[in-house]
Structure 1
Amino acid sequence: MKFVHRLAYYLLGFLIGGVFLYFIFSEKRTEFCYMPNCRVLKDIRTKGILISKQAEATLKEKWVTMDDIKRSLQYGDVDFSKSNKPNPGGGKLYVIEGKTIKDEPIVIEVVNFSDRAVLQDVKKQ
């Protein structure tokens, strides 16, 4: 069998398999989350967020909203050089850089415990 025919059979099988996988995984609503940034953000989002008094005072200033926090926890970047450090009260501190709806950069500090996540502080960058 010529190389061109083998290549055509391979590509046809690859195409059929790709279409098959597309339909299977589109129904499951799965997401690819194997990178460290994605795993940390997903872990924090699934636990739910408790708000500290300091973060609550910042939210009352009205320059940042809870929607901005949720958006940053969805699309933000974890600064691992400042994060993953033990917190004196337990858990690990994560520093997340994100943006508000008005496209202003913010920095979120979240303490991640095994059963909950606490929004420690929100700052303008």
Structure 2
Amino acid sequence: MKRKLLLFSVICLFFAQAAIAQNLIKGVVKDTKGVGIPGVSVSVANSKKATVTDFEGKYSIPAAADATLTFTYLGYISQNADVAGKTQLDITLQEDSKTLGEVVVTAIGIKQQKKKLVMQRRK
């Protein structure tokens, strides 16, 4: 009986430690003017865990207490931040004018269609 109780206690401790190892990290990603940036990619380094900020720049992602988060968005300098046991991590991204000059939008291969508008006169 004591062995079963001891085994049960060890198993419970193992699962409790695994549950504690992952923290839910929340925060807001803003620009230099303090406005939330929607669509910023937030990922845990060396992991497949990732998310995207909502319309107000808010995010939440499960990560270990010693993990590093990577924040990337087109037109801004990518930034890494250590979680360091925190549960709230707010980030300010700096604009990168160099990458904005590299974006090219083309319309090659798009056919233009003209629609005829038929008008009818009333008598």
Q: Which TM class, normalised by the smaller chain length? A: under 0.3
TM-score of the superposed pair, with normalisation by structure 1: 0.27
TM-score of the superposed pair, with normalisation by structure 2: 0.28
1 or 2, which has the higher helix percentage? 1
Which entry has the higher C-alpha Rg, 1 or 2?
A: 2
